[in-house]
Amino acid sequence: MPGHTTRERAKKRVKRKSVPKRLRKKVSAKISKLSREGKPQAQAIAQGINQTLKESKKK
């Protein structure tokens, strides 16, 4: 049965980084910018979230 190996179950449990509501628009803009530049989608998402959170902490 697909989706029932331990590895596949572990994949589903990965906790996604939660993005504060006020930053969601910024994060999605950054993700789309990175993916337009040719980054793989998973990398663009991770980088976009991390960069935006760093910028907001600096303020």
Query: pLDDT averaged over the chain?
Result: 84
Per-residue pLDDT for 32 more than 70? Answer: yes
Give tens-digit pLDDT for 33-49: 999 999 998 899 899 99
Give residue limits of the domains in the chain: 19-58
Residue type, 1: M
pTM, rounded to two decimals: 0.64
Residue 11 to residue 26: CA distance in whole angstroms = 27
In this prediction, residue 59 carries a pLDDT of 72
In this prediction, residue 18 carries a pLDDT of 81
Query: What sign has the CA pseudo-torsion 40, 43, 49, 53?
Result: negative
In this prediction, residue 54 carries a pLDDT of 92
- The closest of 32, 26, 59 to 45, measured between CA atoms, is 32
